[in-house]
Amino acid sequence: MDLQNEKCVMVIDENLPLGIIANTAAIMGITLGKQMPEVVGTDVYDSTGNAHLGIIEFPVPILKGDAHMLKNIRERLYEPEFSDLTVVDFSDLAQGCKTYEEFSEKMGEVSESELSYFGVAICGPKKKVNKLTGSMALLR
């Protein structure tokens, strides 16, 4: 992977409660780590010899959006132009499920148009990621 020409961002609905924002970022981050294990660095050691597990090798800015903006971005990510991007989404449906089995079953019963997105993580060629998110502000 050419880290100079790649970019990864998360866009999260800034209107959500802080705990849901943190949960959304954590869940999408875990899924990105599974999908892109090559971007997680090796374990490191401090001067006393204690191990610290490897972290992602590049920054992942968290950008602010709202429900409408997230829906629009997610719909655009289904277009062929963006098919080479790695995309992780987290929705109201996912947040409301207690087990993965429940999530899987319920997802199979709804159309994409019925989902409300809490967050979307996007990784891939910098130009394409910027085309979708380049004008968005950081979530602070």
Domain assignment of residue 139, yes or no: no
Give me the domain span that covers residue 94.
6-133
Write down the pLDDT at residue 5.
86
Positions of the chain with pLDDT lower than 50, given as ranges: none
Domain assignment of residue 76, yes or no: yes
Write down the pLDDT at residue 119.
98
Please state the domain count of the chain: 1
Residues shown for the chain: 140
* 125, 5 contact by CB (below 8 A): yes
Q: What's the distance, Cα to Cα, between the start and end of the chain in Å?
A: 29
How far is Cα 3 from Cα 12, in angstroms, rounded to an integer? 23
Domain assignment of residue 42, yes or no: yes
* 50, 124 contact by CB (below 8 A): no
Number of helical H runs and strand E runs in the chain: 5, 6
pTM, full prediction: 0.92
Domain assignment of residue 138, yes or no: no
Local structure of residue 56 (DSSP, 8 states): B
pLDDT tens-digit readout, 108-125: 999 999 999 999 999 999
**CATH code of the domain containing 10:** 3.40.1490.10
